[in-house]
Amino acid sequence: MKLHKLIWLFAGCLLVISACAVPAGQAFLHVPQAASASINTPEARVLPAGVYGGGATDNLIIYRQATPTQAAPTETPDEPGDTPGNINPLTGLPVNNAQNLLLPPALVTITNWPPSARPQAGLSFSPIVFEWYIGEGMSRYQALFYGDYPETVNNGSHGSPDPTDPQNGSIPPSDEVTLGPIRSGRLPFEYVRNLYNGFLIMASAYKGVANNLNEFTNVFGSDDGDINSAMIKVTQIENIAENNQKKLGDTSLSGMLFDPVAPQGGAPASRLWFMYNILNQVIWQYDETDGAYHRYQYTGDDRNQFIEDTDRLNGNPLTYSNLIILYAEHRYCTETAYDVDLMYVNRAPALLFRDGQVYKIYWTTKSEDYEKTTGKVRPIRFMDEQGNPFPFKPGQTWIHVVPLGTRVWETRPSDVVDSMIYDQVKKEPSVLFDNIRYEGVGSGEWATRYLASLMIEDKDVCTKIRGQ
C-alpha cells in the first residue's frame, strides 16, 4: 500500500513539473475550418499544423440554447443522416439483425482501472465509446451497444483464443457471453443516456449521483474479493432493452453523416497521444492496412510498455475508424464529482481523426425541426463551420471528452516511443515526458493532456449531488 501511494505521489510531482514544459503555443487558433463534402461549402482549405486549445477565444465558447419547450409528438420529419433498413445510424454499416435497431441502446459503464481489468469484454462491438475522466488520473468508459450484440464467446483471461489457456475450456452457450467489468455511474452519463434515448448499465453509483440518473440497471460483482467481477450477460442486456423499449418508445438516432471518402482540408494525423497522468496514457496509432486507429495503453506497472488493447471476447485489437476530442464545459464540486452538461448546445468545438487526418469541426445538440415537432432529442451531431453535417468514416467511433481549453499539439517524431509501441521496449516514465513535451510542427503525431485544473468550480454541482 505504501509503495502504491509513493508511485502516485511521484506521478503527481512529475505532472506538476511537466506542466511548465508543455508547449506554450498559441490560443485555440482562429483558422480556416476543414471543409466537409457538403455541396454548399466553400473550397477546402488545409488545416494549418500547430497547436490547438488553451484560450477562451470564440472557438472555445459554447453557445447554449435556453431549454426549449418540447412540443407534443407528431410525425417524424426526414432528417439528414436518416438510415433505412438494416443500416446502423451510429456506424453507417449494415447489421445482421435489423430488428435490434428497434431496441434502445444500452450504455454500459466499463472500467479501465485498475489495470487488472484489462482486457475488457465487449468494447470491439460498441458503435460508440465515450471515455470519461473520473479523478486521480483515471478514466472510465461508457460503451454504447446498439444493433448487433456481441456473439463471440469469452476466450480466456488474456483476451486470446489460445487453446492452452486453462480458462478457455469448452465453448460456452451464447447466453453465457458477458460484458464488463462494470463499475459505478457518473453524473455526465445521464446526458448521454438522454441524447441516445437509451438505458444505463452500471455497478450502482454514489447516492447523490444515482438520484440524478434515470433508466438504469445495477449489476453487482460475484466475488467480494475481486473488484473486476461485476459482469453482465449479453442476453440480460437484450431483455432489458426489450423491456425499456416499451417505456422509451420509438426514437431517432439520426444526425450522423458517413462517407468512406475522406474529405479535403485535414492535416496529417498518424498518431494521437492522450495522457491523463504518468500511469494512464493512451496512444492511438493509425494503421493504413485497415484504415483505423489502434489503441495502445501504457501498462502503468513495472513493465513500462505500451500494450495494444484487445477485446477478451475474441482477442481482436481495439480499432476505431473515428476518434473525437470533444470539448465541453466541465463544472465540479470535487475532482471526482463533476458535471458536463451536453444538452441544448448550439455549437462547441471538436477534433475528428479519420483516415490518418485530423479535422477541426464542431458538435451540437441544439433543438431543430425534429426536436421541435416530436418533443424528443437526437444524439450529438457533428458539423463544419457553416453548420453542414461533417462526414465520419463508416465504422466505430471513440470519443474523448475534455474540458474547454485543453491543448492539442504536434510532438516531434520519436524512435523511443515507436520502439515502445511496435517492439514492446521498456522505458522509464520520465522518458515519455521528455518526448511528449517537445513540439514537432508538421509531424502528424498529435498529443494532448487532460488537465482537471481546467474545470470550473461550481457549488451548484455540490447542491445537485447532495440534493439540497
In angstroms, the CA 151 to CA 161 distance is 15
pLDDT computed for residue 151 by the predictor: 77
Number of domains comprising the chain: 1
C-alpha cell at 139: 478514466
> How sure is the predictor about 53, in pLDDT bands with cuts at 50, 70 and 90?
low
pLDDT computed for residue 174 by the predictor: 59
Residue-number span of the structural domain to which 72 is assigned: 2-466
**Of residues 121, 132, 148, the one with CA closest to residue 233:** 121
Phi and psi torsions of 403, nearest 5° = -70, 155
Burial of residue 233 (CB within 10 Å: 0-12, 13-18, 19+) is middle
pLDDT tens track for 197-247: 999 999 999 999 999 999 999 999 989 899 999 999 999 999 999 998 877
Residue with cell 473488484: 227
| Angle at CA of residue 201, ends 317 and 93, nearest 5° | 45
Do 196 and 149 meet the contact criterion of CB atoms below 8 Å apart?
Answer: no
Count of alpha carbons within 13 angstroms of residue 457, beta-carbon side: 2
Length of the chain: 468
Do 261 and 123 meet the contact criterion of CB atoms below 8 Å apart?
Answer: no
pLDDT tens track for 297-351: 998 777 788 999 999 999 999 999 999 999 999 999 999 999 999 999 999 999 9
Beta strands in 136-203 (DSSP E): 138-145, 178-179, 199-202
Burial of residue 335 (CB within 10 Å: 0-12, 13-18, 19+) is middle
pLDDT tens track for 315-328: 999 999 999 999 99
- Domain of residue 342, CATH code: 3.50.90.10
pLDDT tens track for 374-386: 888 999 999 999 9
Q: At what angle do helices 2-19 and 429-436 cross, to 10 degrees?
A: 20
**Of residues 393, 364, 448, 446, the one with CA closest to residue 47:** 446
Phi and psi torsions of 399, nearest 5° = -120, 120
In angstroms, the CA 268 to CA 260 distance is 17
pLDDT computed for residue 375 by the predictor: 86
> How sure is the predictor about 442, in pLDDT bands with cuts at 50, 70 and 90?
very high
Do 406 and 327 meet the contact criterion of CB atoms below 8 Å apart?
Answer: yes
> How sure is the predictor about 431, in pLDDT bands with cuts at 50, 70 and 90?
confident
pLDDT tens track for 124-154: 999 999 999 999 999 999 999 999 999 765 4
